[in-house]
Chains A and B, each alone.
Chain A
Amino acid sequence: MLATETKIAGTTLHHATAALAEADRLMTVCNSCRYCEGLCAVFPAMEMRRSFADGDLNYLANLCHSCGACFYDCQFSPPHAFAVNVPKVLAQVRNESYARYAWPRALAPAFARNGVTIATVAALSVAVFLFGFMLSNDPGTLFSKQTGEGAFYRLMPHNAMALVFSAALLYTLVAMGMGLRAFWRDIGETRETLRVPDYNAQASRDALSLRYLDGGGAGCMNVDEKPTKDRRRLYHHLTFYGFMLCFASTSTATLYHYLLGREAPYPIWDLPVVLGTLGGIGLVIGPLGLLRAKADRDPILCEESGRGMEQAFILMLLALGVTGLALLVFRATPAMGTLLAIHLGAVFGFFLTMPYGKFVHGLYRYAALVRSAKERESLHEPSPSAARALAKTSPKAAS
């Protein structure tokens, strides 16, 4: 009569996708084990729950940094019959969640073949700028040497540039804001949580330091169980801070333009150029390192359906860095016009695709970290029964 083969059922009967059902099964295994609770934020968040509905799993999946340590630390990872592969399954859930939260919904399919989508938009965007430059400028201006203040704006008026990019950025911000709203509702959080300064401060610290891309201090694992081989945290920092420096460069230049009336191109010692150069270098080395890390990643950890999206995003970032640096180096040559069109096209394409590509990982992960900060707050104050339990032998020691 005794069922000797009972499937590990998971905690919730209905899930929207097979990946969510598998994630529920894994969290059932992990919640019975808890050995990984010191590795990152995911497992402590898991321990606060006994059942895992889709919203819970989407929260946990977006909290996961894919550091990989829990896979190699797990006694139940394949070839064990329990086949626990948390990084891979949570990556799958995470990638699916991006499409689920896309705004407008009609553009959710952009995530399905994301590599192609991004590449197409980027190529079109570059083409539009190139042709636009050709049509609006006579060949003499476009392919001749332009130097001195306002050189760029002889090819595209500053106001036109500002208008086009502000519009794109505004659209992107609205689309991502709607996505964030969908995520926040899905995981069951309230608006108030997102406004608490302490949670945001903690989430910012965690995000800016990539605290959870560190295997709990031992380092993360990408190639095998040896953390020393993984430099993803460094490359991610180079990419992220490179991007932010580039953003700072553009912002500074905009301020120069409107407040000081100083027009680009600026001398190489000037702040926008220094920031942009450093950022550009980060945006070249960082993405190259990340691409390398992706190539080196243990195949068993790889979530194949997300590959195109990840590659496309990294290549877009790399394109921003390379075209930006190329523009700096060749700005005093006849190639400047063409390079400016390509760079602006790349940036424009990047802006447009931000809500429909891997960029959103940062948004949802930050939001997940805010919730994690809120939940962790409760850990610091032992409940009366926990305080009492503390005085005795830890029951956890009974393993």
Chain B
Amino acid sequence: MIGGGNAALCAAISARREGASVLVLEASSAFWRGGNTRHTRNMRCAHDEATEILTGPYTEDEFFEDLLRVTKGKTDEVLARHMIHESKAMLTWIAEQGVRWQPSLGGTLSLGRTNSFFLGGGRAMLNALYATAERLGVEIRYEAEVTDLVIEDGMFISATMKDGEMVTAGALVAAAGGFESNITWLKQYWGEAADNFLIRGTGNNKGTILKLLLDKGVQEVGDPTQCHAVAIDARAPKYDGGIITRLDCVVFGIVVNKNAERFYDEGEDIWPKRYAIWGRLVAAQPDQIAYIIFDASSLKLFMPSLYPPIAAGTIPELACELGLDPDALRKTVNDFNAAVQPGTFDDKILDDCRTEGLSPPKTHWARRIEVAPFYAYPVRPGITFTYLGTRVNKEARMLMADGRPAANIFAAGEIMAGNVLGEGYAAGIGMTIGAVFGRIAGREAARNARN
């Protein structure tokens, strides 16, 4: 197994349980193990009825419809349906590997219907998987970076380690993530704009293994510009700021670019359905920066985040704090305020607070920005993970460029997420892809190695 996150560990455990001897090569040190899994929180699995941790049924069909909607149909239906079907068993399988689901905290308040939450979050989940893998006899090596692969005619022969050591195996599972932390690679598609991207997760996903595989004849899948990207606090560190730099206040205010101009309908739909489009929207703005502007009436309506908002007594003062043109920002806010129609504000539904005659409009939750102090959060595109990957079949076996299945090479997780996610995202689906295809890849790799 190359990689050390959810997908790699599910593959390792599954292969070990099939009787294979398993070596996990994790490029990072023990603390940073698991790449982006450390930052995850939940997994989306289909289920036919409510359970102790899920408030209601979420059928395979509904899951698939959700996937079709977010990807705008850009998904491999056979793989997607297979994954969704297999996700049902994941609720119990993952718990059997020692991972704990978070029970209800008070009534059913803290529970979702579609997603199950890991008790203690992704790192707790990862710790449980590692403990189980170790107990089963999986060998785990840290700081074990693979720098080259020998693949002959679709057959994995050996991996070369950074120190020159050659590792051979009967089968390979590549679960080493995407290439989002490789800014140079991102620049191939995004140009200099990529310099202004923040990477929400691990700094270790340089895409080395993905590149090696593609260079050695594995078929590519996915649009290289597609990724999970949200607008996060621009003050976040370049890498690994994680969940706490996200901002949930777009719907409560307006978002302007560096010219103090609005550029998209902030109230298009409820936030959970729209938060993942804002990374790309901000990426398309000059200098890849934007500012969420709101007033005192909204300050406590959203989840707190890491950095305090920038505050000022008037809109022009706020503009100065942000380095924006004060007159331009005042005009934008005034135009917006003038366009706001009377309505009954309710942030839990698509309410009737909207603008009239404004372009772009704000179609819900539009309230005048008029109560001092005024606040702003600067935001930049925060890349969660990339979708360019290796094409696989239902066995999680990679397909070579000519369409033939690879002899003994499998993939799971981010490195093959593009098979299912052509674009868009639904919360928790990254972990579903990792766990389901990890389990399949491990099982198939073990059977393959045995034969």
Contact = CB atoms under 8 A, between A and B. Distances in A.
A315 to B, nearest CB: 33
A386 interface: yes
A79 interface: yes
A159 interface: no
Interface in B327-360: 348-349
B100 A50 contact: no
Given A36-B120, A73-B123, A215-B120, A393 B300 contact: no
B127 interface: yes
Contact of A75 (B100, B122, B270, B305): B122
B255 to A, nearest CB: 16
A47 to B, nearest CB: 9
A225 B130 CA distance: 10
A399 B41 contact: yes
A180 interface: no
B307 interface: yes
B122 A35 contact: yes
A259 B235 CA distance: 73
Nearest to B230: A398
Interface stretch (B107-115, B217-225, B391-399, B440-448): B107-115
Given A72-B127, A385-B348, A217 B119 contact: yes
Interface string A259-284: 00000000000000000000000000
A386 B109 contact: yes
A119 B245 CA distance: 48
Interface in A370-399: 376, 379-382, 385-386, 388-390, 392-399
Q: Is the interface of B mostly helix, strand, loop or mixed?
A: loop
Given A32-B305, A397-B427, A379 B106 contact: yes
A187 B119 CA distance: 29
Contact of A1 (B55, B102, B276, B322): B322
Contact of B115 (A36, A380, A381, A397): A397
Contact of A38 (B103, B131, B244): B103
Interface stretch (A3-11, A128-136, A248-256, A290-298): A3-11
A3 B309 CA distance: 12
Interface of B: 31, 38-42, 44, 55, 100, 102-103, 105-115, 117-124, 127-128, 131, 234-235, 237, 240, 242-245, 248, 270-272, 275-276, 289, 300, 303-308, 322-323, 348-349, 378, 427-428
B123 A218 contact: no
B111 A394 contact: yes
A334 interface: no
Contact of B106 (A73, A226, A376): A376
A386 B106 CA distance: 12
Contacts of A397: 42, 44, 112, 114-115, 272, 427-428
A28 interface: yes
Given A28-B304, A399-B427, 15 more contacts: A2-B235, A6-B308, A28-B306, A32-B304, A33-B121, A35-B124, A36-B121, A37-B110, A38-B117, A44-B105, A73-B123, A76-B242, A218-B124, A388-B349, A394-B115
A72 B131 CA distance: 13
Nearest to A27: B304
A37 B110 CA distance: 9
Contact of A390 (B55, B100, B275): B55
Nearest to B110: A37
A31 interface: yes
B104 to A, nearest CB: 9
Given A398-B275, A399-B40, A390 B109 contact: yes
Contacts of B308: 6, 9
A139 B165 CA distance: 80
Nearest to A36: B120
A226 B304 contact: no
B307 A33 contact: no
A33 B243 contact: yes
A56 to B, nearest CB: 14
B100 A217 contact: yes
A393 B120 contact: no
A372 B156 CA distance: 57
Interface in A69-107: 69-70, 72-76, 79-82
Contacts of A390: 55, 108-109
Contact of A6 (B38, B307, B427): B307
A218 B119 contact: yes
A4 B121 contact: no
Given A379-B109, A382-B109, A398 B427 contact: yes
Which of A37, A215, A225, A395 lies at the interface centre, i.e. has the most chain B CB atoms within 10 A of its CB? Answer: A395
Nearest to A7: B307
A29 interface: yes
A155 interface: no
Contacts of B306: 8, 28-29, 32
18 contacts: A6-B235, A32-B303, A33-B242, A36-B120, A50-B304, A72-B123, A216-B120, A225-B131, A379-B105, A379-B106, A388-B348, A388-B349, A390-B109, A393-B114, A396-B117, A397-B112, A398-B271, A399-B42
A107 B270 CA distance: 57
A13 to B, nearest CB: 11
A35 B105 CA distance: 13
A218 B103 CA distance: 12
Contacts of B31: 79-80
Nearest to B106: A379
**Shortest 8 CB-CB contacts between residues of A and residues of B:** A379-B106, A35-B121, A1-B323, A394-B112, A73-B120, A32-B244, A38-B102, A73-B124
Contacts of B271: 395, 398
Contact of A4 (B118, B123, B234, B305): B234
A276 to B, nearest CB: 40
B121 A73 contact: yes
A399 B110 contact: no
Nearest to B111: A394
Contacts of A344: none
A4 B235 contact: yes
Contact of B112 (A1, A70, A79, A393): A393
A81 B55 CA distance: 37
B376 to A, nearest CB: 11
A54 B102 CA distance: 30
Nearest to B306: A32
A194 to B, nearest CB: 22
Nearest to A33: B244
A34 B323 CA distance: 33
Contacts of B322: 1-2
Contacts of A392: 270, 348
